[in-house]
Amino acid sequence: MARGDAPRDSYHLVGISFFILGLGTLLPWNFFITAIPYFQGRLAGANSTAETLGTNHTSPADTFNFNNWVTLLSQLPLLLFTLLNSFLYQCIPEMVRILGSLLVILILFTLTAVLVKVDMSPGLFFSITMASVWFINSFGAILQGSLFGQLGTMPSKYSTLFLSGQGLAGIFAALAMLISMASGVDAQTSALGYFITPCVGTIMSIVCYLSLPHLKFARYYLAKKPSKAQGQELETKAELLQSDEKNGIPNSPQRAALTLDLDLEKETEVEPEEPQKPEKPSVFIVLRKIWLTALCLVLVFTVTLSVFPAITAMVTSSTGPGKWSQFFNPICCFLLFNVMDCLGRSLTSYFLWPDEDSRLLPLLVCLRVLFVPLFMLCHVPERSRLPILFPQDAYFITFMLLFAVSNGYLVSLTMCLAPRQVLPQEREVTGTLMTFFLALGLSCGASLSFLFKALL
């Protein structure tokens, strides 16, 4: 809650700044996976980027397994820095973490844009791109955790704006791809324009962050001493998690790691004026209460990341060459997934079904496993083992609608139900465990994608 003597946020500049910062933190993941057709074209053996942006070159015979590796190397930093961020907070100043991460991300995205114009062997291009993916997502995890810490001293609505910006990053990346493809310029220029977009977004994020100390409203909250702001920071972070669940703010793989970072911070805090602290809840006792819900969360993301985007990005239109075939994957895979996932998360604002005592939740989660063979039997050309049973585009679109809505809804539902299964004093540990299992599910799904692609 904003204090009564706080200055006004003139023209909502602070809110806009945090919205843009939220958008900027998740542009890397979304821009890389949305541009899979471009990367596949570069790795297909051609030395030019011509006709690569909108053409799907992915096939089961792909020797580089690009979409599998880009997913895995995006999720492993999440799991790693989920555990390391709390230690980094104590060793590296906040401004260095935030500005340093933004600058590294900007440099690496600039490198990706420059490589559009550089002819090189597929092997060298793959190595450079994978290194960029790893470092961009590593610094992205540090950036998100650091910004989340800043938001702890702000009124909770600014955290909601930050999360809203993150939730729109996937839709923004898909729209940027569509605009680049529809611009009418040659494919190389179109790809260059696409990758310049996140560079501009990152520069805007840097400008927004540097402008915060010059805004009176931001100074009022961000300049507080940690000892005075500690209670409000923790309260705001708790409000953030609750508002995310109630309002259906879209989530993303990377953003989920922030919850664990914050919970680890709270575990290491010392109240100097309190002679005695209550005993912390046992992790094992909490785990006994929520293990089924946590397992459901792991399975939801394992299924999702095992086929998206590794398998779904390989599906092509059965209508043959043409405009629709060119726009099919950006629209029906990436844009549709992000929009429907957002819709699925928002549904928990209106109802929570099944409830925490129902055994229907594990059943619904297990039924999502059917999406794996369904997508693998869609129109993926050049397969060597499995047949194509669902060649029409309508099948893939229907599967993607149900797949995305169920992912968003079940993720949001499990995160909402877990705190209901424990005592109030155990909710902090619950948040830590649920976020760990979420990251675990993402990593498991990314690893399984290699197996499913090999089965094609």
Q: Can you read off the two tokens belonging to residue 205?
A: 């994020």
To the nearest 10°, the Cα dihedral for 199, 204, 205, 211?
150
289, HSE (Cβ side, Cα atoms, 13 Å): 21
Q: Render the burial of 214-235: b for 16+ CB within 10 Å, e for the rest.
A: ebebbebbbeeeeeebbebbbe
Q: How far apart are CA 355 and CA 264, in angstroms?
A: 28
Top-tier CATH class for 9-45+63-224: mainly alpha
CB atoms within 10 A of CB 266: 17
For residue 444, give the amino acid letter: C
Report the range of poorest mean pLDDT among 38-47, 68-77, 140-149, 337-346: 38-47
Q: How far is CA 184 from CA 35, 51, 268, 320, 413, in A?
A: 18, 12, 55, 20, 43
DSSP 262-296: HHHHHHT---TT-S--PPPPPHHHHHHHHHHHHHH
Does 159 score more than 60 pLDDT? yes
Q: Is the pTM of this model over 0.85?
A: no
Are the beta carbons of 192 and 52 closer than 8 angstroms? no
Instruction: Report the chain's mean pLDDT, rounded to a whole number.
Output: 81
Q: Can you read off the two tokens belonging to residue 394?
A: 């309508």
| pLDDT mean over 441-456 | 92
**Residues ≥6 apart with Cβ < 8 Å to 384:** 60, 61, 456
Report the range of poorest mean pLDDT among 19-33, 80-94, 255-269, 378-392: 255-269
Q: Can you read off the two tokens belonging to residue 199?
A: 């560079």
pLDDT band at 42 (very low <50, low <70, confident <90, very high): confident
pLDDT digits (tens, 9 = 90+) for 86-130: 677 778 888 898 999 999 999 999 999 999 988 889 999 999 999
